Amino acid sequence: MSDDLTSKSWLTLNKTDIQAKINQGLLPHALLLFGSSLAGQEELGLWLSKKLVCQQPTQENACGQCKACRLVQANTHPDLQFIDNGEKTIGVDIVRKAGAFMQKTAHIGKTKVVLIHACENMTEAAANALLKTLEEPTKNSYLLLVCNDIDLLLPTIISRCSQIKVQPPVGHELAALINDNELINDFSNINQFAELTDSKVKQSYIEFNQLLLNWLQQTISSSELLTGFDSIHSLRWLSHCFNQLLRIQSGWQQALQGHALMSVANKYSNEQLWQCLALTQAANKQIKLLTQANKNFTIEALLVDIEDLLQQSNSDKG
């Protein structure tokens, strides 16, 4: 990974805009920092939270030397709360505690900050609890919401926050920043930012493609393929793979030369692949729009439906 990707230099414009609001005393109580996964909204949220509680911030960063900064480094600052459940859901109790935390008087300085990572993982009850905090802001308190998929947030939450979109470079500018071009092709786009710029996500993507290839070759079962859906990117990868197979069938073999699924591109008909893609997109939409949807059950049902479709079509050919 290049130094530009490690530092996420494109965040400079976001930071400049935020600093201008701070200088003018116009920084909103609630900020929604969003973008594609790993685009940099997490780093932006951490940068801002540190600046807000720092006792001697510069125009660029927190000073890193004052008592507040030392407490942040030790993860013991009494006026700064991080909520990070990884890929797990964020429950209502956690959000209620954060709301109560923001109502209290600051211990150091005047500012209190709550930073919620992957806020799209809030349960419906948690999201509704957050609305109360957004509707009743307290003085000198800031709520920073880091989001990897804004479509999963309640519109009422989005409307009550000032939105800051993190936009990494695209196309040739993105490709120029990536030292490892193994996954780059003519169809690479910002939706693939995670696997293009993070080695762990890239490895998971490669392993997922191999599982999918084995499944399409009927050497593993749907339950075995299901083990590959432990990443937040898995459904997107499934849609992407069917899209790539359709492109290969449409004459883009050279552009996608070396793709892991090239060997099965002609195993199924164009109509079959379109139906598989439609099923995948419908399942993804269901998970996004129905907050109480059981993700594992939805994915398991999706794989069974796709498997039935492919097996039935092959049977009809025979």
Q: How far apart are the first and last CA of the chain?
A: 48
Task: Pick one of 1.20.272.10, 1.10.3720.10, 3.50.40.10, 3.90.110.10 as the CATH number of 171-317.
Answer: 1.20.272.10
CA atoms of 166 and 138, how far apart (whole Å): 27
Q: What is the pLDDT along the chain (318 residues), one digit of tens a residue?
A: 455 555 688 899 999 999 999 999 999 999 999 998 888 999 999 999 999 999 999 999 999 999 999 999 999 999 999 999 877 889 999 999 999 999 999 999 889 999 999 998 898 899 999 998 898 888 889 999 999 888 888 889 999 999 999 988 776 677 777 766 667 766 666 777 788 878 898 899 999 989 999 998 888 888 899 988 988 889 889 998 888 888 888 777 665 666 677 778 778 888 888 999 999 988 887 776 665 568 888 899 999 999 888 886 555 544
User: How many CA atoms within 13 Å lie on the side-chain side of 61?
Assistant: 9
Q: Would you state the pLDDT for residue 317?
A: 47
Q: How far, rounded to the nearest angstrom, does the alpha carbon of residue 13 sit from its chain's CA centroid?
A: 21
Q: Would you state the pLDDT for residue 53?
A: 96
Q: Which of 45, 38, 13 is nearest to 193 (CA)?
A: 38
Q: Would you state the pLDDT for residue 137?
A: 82
Question: Is the Cβ–Cβ distance between 98 and 132 less than 8 Å?
Answer: no
CATH 1.20.272.10 domain residues, the chain? 171-317
Structure tokens at 44: 């932006």
Q: How far is CA 302 from CA 112, 142, 226, 227, 260, in A?
A: 44, 41, 10, 14, 22
Q: Would you state the pLDDT for residue 193?
A: 78
Q: Return contacts of 54-63, CB within 8 angstroms, 24+ apart.
A: 55/108, 55/109, 59/19, 60/15, 60/19
Q: Would you state the pLDDT for residue 176?
A: 74
CATH 3.40.50.300 domain residues, the chain? 3-165
Strand order across the beta sheet in which 141-147 lies: 80-83, 112-116, 141-147, 30-34, 162-165
Q: How far is CA 64 from CA 77, 141, 169, 250, in A?
A: 13, 21, 29, 55
Task: Tell me which fold the domain 3-165 belongs to.
Answer: Rossmann fold (3.40.50)
